[in-house]
Structure 1
Amino acid sequence: MYQTNQLATPVKLLIMDVDGVLTDGRIFITASGEEIKSFHTLDGHGLKMLQKTGVKLAIITGRDAPSVAHRVKGLGIDYYFAGIHNKQQTFLTLLEQTGLNAKQCAYIGDDVVDLPVMNRVGFCVAVPQAHPEVLKRAHYVTQAAAGAGAVRELCDLIMHTQGTLDKALAEYLS
């Protein structure tokens, strides 16, 4: 059922972009300037399950939207970097903060601004709607669309590859 990718075995940190990964990429802006984004509950629960297995979570996003900060807090994301224009530098800072190396990191992105990090991590993942240059460089492309379970698919794949999925699902199956 789950495609195993051995590059997911050493993953201790999952890093994500937001727009076009955790959302479908569309940004709704109200007349007052408030941004509204849509997040999928499958992704959120998958992140919580993955985190329970010991994998840390991080977001590096170019935008600084209050709705994302609210979602991050609700999910208990370990590291959150918003309004970032140099994702590579932030990634290096994240490695220092966590004490991990690049091979222990996975990154899921959709656009060329994600490539400086994707090119350095041990497991880089793209969503199907990603820019062609991103798709070309990804180790794995999700079947699920951005904002519609792509992150959950990745979480399940990591847990499956690391042998923690059955335990993560056990509380729901008994």
Structure 2
Amino acid sequence: MTISSLTSKSLSPELQARFKNIKLLVLDVDGVMTNGGLTIGDDGQEYKTFHSHDGLGMKLLKATGVNLAIITGRTSNVVKKRAESTGVAHFYQGAEDKLVAFNDLIKISGLQESQCAFMGDDVVDLPPMLKCGLAIAVPDSPALVLNHSHYVTTKAGGHGAVREVCELIMQAQGTFDAQMAQFLTQASIAN
């Protein structure tokens, strides 16, 4: 199944219901928003590569009323800038215990755990993944993470996996067509 043919209707009814219920998408960074590689210069500066499709997907999802959060174990200015540019409402970095950060996020957001999706790629992500309503992993995650995920993306981390999830949430919630219509309208005006 290619990503273009992957829709929420392709999912089981139980999984569709999980996607439909999401009000907050929580993302890990390394291995999810990036390919997991860490580039560190001689000066100690950290560099990361993000996929532009993911960024637009995040902005489109936020426009539908679904909030975004990042919980990452590392601390990086580039991640802070990415969070700001994509409309991330809640940002936790240097989170050695991601469950503590997730519990704080639940408390301040006023949402139920079942209304949150957590997208991770390694065993440190399992505690919040096991607590949320929709646990999502990328394909190259360790077997333990894959076995405890409700959904595994077809795209790899840093290569459109976040966009895939954003689109599935929008499709399940009936907001995808409206978000895409703005681009089709612009195209028809230009022609």
Q: TM over 0.5: same fold?
A: yes
Tell me what 1:123 maps to: 134
Aligned with residue 6 of structure 2, among 2, 7, 25: 2
Aligned with residue 135 of structure 1, among 142, 146, 167: 146
CA distance in 2, matches of 1:88, 1:53: 27
Partner-residue secondary structure (3-state), 2:103: helix
Tell me what 2:28 maps to: 17
Partner-residue secondary structure (3-state), 1:14: strand
Tell me what 1:150 maps to: 161
Pairing 1:162–2:173 present:
yes
Q: TM-score, normalised by structure 1?
A: 0.98
Matches within 5 A, 1:56-75: 56-75=67-86
Tell me what 1:81 maps to: 92
How many percent of aligned residue pairs carry the same amino acid? 45
CA distance in 2, matches of 1:6, 1:110: 23
Would you identify which runs of 4 or more consecutive aligned residues in structure 1 move more than 6 Å? none
Instruction: List alignment gaps of at least 5 residues for structure 1.
Output: none
1:107, CA displacement in angstroms?
0.7
Instruction: List alignment gaps of at least 5 residues for structure 2.
Output: 9-15, 186-191
Q: RMSD of the TM alignment (CA)?
A: 0.7
Q: Tell me: higher relative CO, structure 1 or 2? Use CA pairs within 8 A at least 6 residues apart.
A: 1
* Number of equivalences: 174
The structure having more radius of gyration, on CA atoms, is 2
Write the letter of the residue equivalent to 1:147: G
